[in-house]
Amino acid sequence: MIILALIISSFYIILVGAFIIGFSKLSDFKLSNLSSEIKFSVIVPFRNEANNLPVLLDSFSNLTYPTNFFEIILVNDESSDNFKHIIDAFKKEYPTINLQLINSVRKYNSPKKDALNTAINLANFDWIITTDADCKVPKTWLTSFNEFIQKNNPLFIAAPILFEKQNSFLFHFQNLNFTSLIGSTIGSFGIKMPFMCNGANLCFKKDAFFKINGYNQNLNIASGDDVFLLEKMIKHAQKKVHYLKSKSSLVITKSEGSWGNFIHQQIRWASKATYYKNTFSKLVGIIVLAENLLVITLSISVFINPLFWNLFLLVFISKLIIDSVILIKTFKYFKQTFSIIYLIPTSLIHPFFIGFIGIISFFKKYQWKGRIFKK
């Protein structure tokens, strides 16, 4: 037991340590006032987002990028709320912004991929950017992608996304969990072993998307449009896959409003992991799950045999320290440190939460946008 615990804990520390090194290794991208040369098709799939669309559209109206160099395609995925008047009002107020509303063409068991495919096939420009309806983009968003493309000649660009601040424990729990993923994502790009990205802030070349057959092979998996596309792009041209590490490209989104919604979100994210083809992605998942199960096992064992206390403290404290380093590093970079004070209580709960999600994701259906999906 002791040897196994030390092996698992060592692998976890090495993994997170590599992400910490990678985070520092990946250069901070600075804007340098390059001319606007790249034209973008911004695609936003949405379903019943009338409450969120005004914030997103307002952020689009503040973009400091020539309006003739981008289009916005909003893809309605069978919404039943009163969204249309919001879009009509925006188009009337900002007639110079090329915004079109289309309906998704449903074909498969993945509504979001259907919506994205519908829009990509209609897109007029060479570069596709995807985001979500519950997001807010910075005014330098397209400017950042424009300059990054000119300087790096990529085919695929992942970029950061963080939560809008709230004041509940649920928010801080989600924020610490999500920020650790963002830090690990950046770190993985820094060590040239990317395994994760987020479709709420993603950019890719349209012809490259078609060349790798887009979302084909994953169309019957409800989620995962972002990670599966990343895996295929890596296989196609890994040196052309980049991360735009810059506060000028940071998209802000909302955390889940209830524990029930959060659990369903986590089940959805976990359920797609078994379909990953990237060996490193699978290895990361195994190490992280094993470490959390180890903490759970040792925390129970101390009540059976007090001799396990020292081993539990060694594993838990070493995990807490290495997790704290990447979290603090990520928070400080984006200048959002408000959840740090919740780190210790969250660390006590988090392994049990991860273990719970990891187990039930194999059996439980999940809800997403008012629909129920099987694994």
Measured CA to CA, the distance from residue 328 to residue 336 in angstroms comes to 9
CB 87 within 8 A of CB 1: no
Q: Kindly tell me if the per-residue pLDDT of 338 is higher than 70.
A: yes
CB 242 within 8 A of CB 329: no
| Rg for the chain, CA atoms, rounded | 21
CA proximity to 278, closest of 221, 326, 238: 238
Q: Specify the pairing of strand 202-205 against strand 127-130.
A: antiparallel
Through-space distance between the first and last CA atoms of the chain, rounded to whole angstroms: 33
Please name the amino acid found at residue 303.
F
Measured CA to CA, the distance from residue 179 to residue 323 in angstroms comes to 11
Q: Kindly tell me if the per-residue pLDDT of 7 is higher than 90.
A: yes
Q: What is the pLDDT of residue 367?
A: 63
Q: What is the pLDDT of residue 308?
A: 83
Query: Hey, is 102 helix, strand or coil?
Result: strand
Helix, strand and coil content of the chain, in percent to the nearest 5, comes to: 55, 15, 30
**Tens of pLDDT, residues 70-96:** 999 999 998 988 899 999 999 999 999
Query: Can you state the angle between helices 169-190 and 309-334, rounded to 10 degrees?
Result: 80
pLDDT grade for 264, boundaries at 50, 70 and 90 = confident
Q: Report the pLDDT averaged over residues 278-298.
A: 90
Q: Kindly tell me if the per-residue pLDDT of 375 is higher than 60.
A: no
Q: What is the pLDDT of residue 364?
A: 64
Q: CB within 8 A of 178, min separation 6: which ones? A: 162, 163, 255
Q: Report the pLDDT averaged over residues 15-30.
A: 96
Q: What is the pLDDT of residue 371?
A: 63
Q: Kindly tell me if the per-residue pLDDT of 62 is higher than 80.
A: yes
CA proximity to 117, closest of 152, 53, 73: 73
Q: Kindly tell me if the per-residue pLDDT of 63 is higher than 90.
A: yes
CB 19 within 8 A of CB 323: no
Q: What is the pLDDT of residue 279?
A: 85
Q: CB within 8 A of 328, min separation 6: which ones? A: 337, 340
Q: Which tokens in the block code for residue 98?
A: 């090329």
Measured CA to CA, the distance from residue 365 to residue 375 in angstroms comes to 6
More confident residue, 303 or 375: 303
Q: What is the largest CA-CA distance in the chain?
A: 71
Q: What is the pLDDT of residue 222?
A: 62
Measured CA to CA, the distance from residue 184 to residue 7 in angstroms comes to 21
Neighbour-count burial of 290, counting CB atoms closer than 10 A to its CB (0-12 exposed, 13-18 middle, 19+ buried) = middle
Q: Report the pLDDT averaged over residues 146-161.
A: 96
Measured CA to CA, the distance from residue 63 to residue 90 in angstroms comes to 14
Measure CA 76 to chain center. 21
Q: Kindly tell me if the per-residue pLDDT of 129 is higher than 70.
A: yes
1-375 CATH, one of 3.90.550.10, 3.40.50.300, 2.40.50.40, 3.30.750.24: 3.90.550.10
Measured CA to CA, the distance from residue 227 to residue 224 in angstroms comes to 5
Q: Report the pLDDT averaged over residues 339-354.
A: 90
More confident residue, 375 or 109: 109
Give whole-number Cα distances, 107 to 131, 188, 374, in Å: 21, 34, 17
Q: Kindly tell me if the per-residue pLDDT of 325 is higher than 60.
A: yes
Mean pLDDT rounded to a whole number for the chain: 90
DSSP 194-216: -----TTSEEEEHHHHHHTTTTT
DSSP bridge partners of 202: 130, 158
**Tens of pLDDT, residues 183-222:** 999 999 999 999 999 999 999 999 999 999 888 877 677 6
Q: What is the pLDDT of residue 354?
A: 87
CB 187 within 8 A of CB 284: no
CB 75 within 8 A of CB 132: no
Q: CB within 8 A of 261, min separation 6: which ones? A: none
**Tens of pLDDT, residues 211-243:** 998 888 776 776 667 888 999 999 989 999 999
Give whole-number Cα distances, 239 to 30, 80, 194, 206, 243, in Å: 21, 43, 11, 17, 11
